[in-house]
């Protein structure tokens, strides 16, 4: 059984052969063996596209089986909610229990997966998005590659699970946010950024000597002009750095050195100010706090209200009522 609704695509089957076909069509060519399953539902898949680069999937397997899977050509970060699994790739066998998070395999590597009656939540992410967020896809740089399949620490794992839960709750909770392009793109960039902080990878964290030279006030001025002119667009730190004609490390250094903040935090503040102006104007009876917040990329109403009150000393609803 399959279907489409406001929250994405849903597939369910009690046929293992059909499950193999669905997995092949959805992820990569899958050959199932070692079948061990009772009668009843074999597999459920719930797919929710976030952006063209990121998709959130929930999978349930009411059985145990082994499968050979071709290279996924994308990154699949998995949270195992129940059951247990084993992944064999690149000559290494890895076992995971409920509550653990992991990267299934490198995008260009085939693997063998073995599952035992499991439920999992996954984030599928194109490597190009990570390269953009990490600003490694330029001259003299190499694409990001993960050097470990597990989080760097228990604290990092908690941050990853928290970010995933935040995006699921914020983006798909209400129609205003679920259909807002800016909220979705911000959420995808957030997941990419947290993935880079969670799973050890090759992205450099240290600015170069040239970055230090470029971290001057003119860099900040160019970046701020670009942010002011493009706050309503889907932009990330790499876009701001390109507009300022410096590397992302130089951009971050310049903002930290001269403003005591980060480029993305400044972008958030600019969008918050624009949301404030819109609430003050209150152009129509249809204007709501959530519609304004989501238009400027704030997908979580509670988070928006907290930031707004910190900045302006009033709740967004109070400003709207006073308009």
- Same structural domain, 122 and 197: no
- Same structural domain, 103 and 74: yes
- Same structural domain, 64 and 139: no
What mean pLDDT do residues 104-113 have?
A: 93
Q: Tokens 């050509």 appear where?
A: 73
The length of the chain, given as a count of residues: 323
Angstrom distance (rounded) from CA 57 to CA 160: 15
- Same structural domain, 42 and 158: no
- Same structural domain, 141 and 261: yes
Angstrom distance (rounded) from CA 269 to CA 284: 24
Q: Are 95 and 85 in contact (CB under 8 A)?
A: yes
Angstrom distance (rounded) from CA 54 to CA 295: 20
Angstrom distance (rounded) from CA 37 to CA 126: 33
Per-position b or e across 28-58, b if 16+ CB within 10 A of its CB: bebebeeeebeeebbbbbbbbebbebbbbbb
The model's pTM: 0.75
Domain total in the chain:
3
Angstrom distance (rounded) from CA 233 to CA 226: 11
Indicate left, alpha or beta for 102 from its phi (over 0: left) and psi (-120 to 50: alpha).
beta
Using the 3D structure, point to which of 91, 126, 161 is the last residue of a domain.
Answer: 126
Residue 78 belongs to domain with CATH number: 2.60.120.10
Angstrom distance (rounded) from CA 269 to CA 222: 17
- Same structural domain, 144 and 215: yes
- Same structural domain, 111 and 36: yes
- Per DSSP, the three-state class of 314 is coil
pLDDT beyond 90 at 214 = no
At 92-108, the pLDDT tens digits run: 999 999 999 999 999 99
Using the 3D structure, point to which of 126, 142, 158 is the last residue of a domain.
Answer: 126
- Give the list of residues 6+ apart from residue 268 with CB closer than 8 angstroms, or none: 297, 307
- Same structural domain, 272 and 262: no
pLDDT beyond 90 at 175 = no
At 10-60, the pLDDT tens digits run: 888 888 788 888 889 989 998 887 666 554 567 899 999 999 999 999 999
What mean pLDDT do residues 55-66 have?
A: 88
- Same structural domain, 315 and 297: yes
- Same structural domain, 116 and 133: no
- Which structural domain, as residue segments, surrounds residue 223? 129-267
Using the 3D structure, point to which of 126, 150, 166 is the last residue of a domain.
Answer: 126
Residue 308 belongs to domain with CATH number: 1.10.10.60
Angstrom distance (rounded) from CA 29 to CA 22: 9
- Of the ranges 198-212, 233-247, 294-308, which one carries the lowest mean pLDDT score? 198-212
Q: What is the DSSP string of 286-300?
A: T--HHHHHHHTT---
Closest by CA to 75, choosing from 198, 185, 165, 180, is 198
| Pairwise pLDDT comparison (64 vs 96), residue with the higher score | 96
At 228-265, the pLDDT tens digits run: 999 999 888 878 988 998 888 788 889 989 998 888 88
- Same structural domain, 67 and 190: no
Q: Tell me what pLDDT residue 161 has.
A: 93
- Same structural domain, 146 and 111: no
Residue 204 pLDDT level (bands cut at 50, 70, 90): low
Cα–Cα separations (whole angstroms), residue 282 to 272, 277, 285, 317: 15, 9, 8, 11
| Pairwise pLDDT comparison (3 vs 219), residue with the higher score | 219
Percent of the chain scored above 90 by pLDDT? Answer: 42
Q: Tell me what pLDDT residue 72 has.
A: 93
């Amino acid at each position: 059984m399959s279907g489409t609704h406001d929250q994405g695509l849903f597939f369910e089957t009690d046929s293992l052969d059909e499950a193999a076909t669905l997995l092949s069509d959805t992820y990569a060519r899958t050959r199932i063996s070692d079948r061990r399953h009772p009668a009843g539902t074999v597999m459920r898949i719930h797919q929710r596209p976030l952006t063209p680069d990121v998709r959130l999937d929930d999978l349930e397997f009411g059985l145990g089986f082994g499968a050979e899977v071709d290279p996924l050509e994308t990154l699949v970060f998995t949270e195992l909610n129940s059951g247990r699994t084993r992944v064999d790739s690149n000559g290494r066998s890895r076992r995971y229990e409920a509550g653990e998070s992991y990267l299934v395999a490198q995008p260009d590597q085939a693997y063998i997966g073995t599952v035992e009656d499991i439920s999992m939540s996954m984030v599928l992410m194109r490597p190009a998005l990570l390269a953009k967020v990490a600003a490694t896809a330029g001259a003299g740089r190499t694409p990001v590659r993960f050097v470990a399949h597990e989080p760097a620490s228990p604290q990092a794992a908690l941050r990853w699970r928290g970010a995933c839960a935040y995006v699921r709750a914020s983006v798909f909770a209400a129609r205003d946010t679920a259909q807002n392009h800016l909220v979705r793109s911000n959420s995808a960039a957030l997941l990419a950024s947290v993935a880079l902080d969670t799973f050890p990878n090759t992205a450099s964290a240290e600015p170069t000597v040239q970055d230090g030279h470029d971290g001057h006030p003119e860099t900040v001025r160019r970046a701020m002009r670009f942010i002011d002119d493009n706050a309503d667009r889907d932009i990330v730190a790499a876009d701001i750095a390109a507009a300022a004609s410096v590397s992302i490390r130089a951009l971050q250094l310049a903002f930290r050195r001269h403003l005591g903040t980060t480029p993305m935090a400044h972008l958030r503040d600019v969008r918050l100010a624009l949301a404030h102006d819109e609430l003050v104007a209150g152009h129509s009876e249809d204007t709501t706090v959530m519609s304004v917040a989501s238009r400027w990329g704030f997908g979580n109403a509670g988070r928006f209200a907290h930031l707004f009150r910190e900045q302006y000393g009033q709740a967004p609803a109070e400003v709207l009522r006073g308009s």
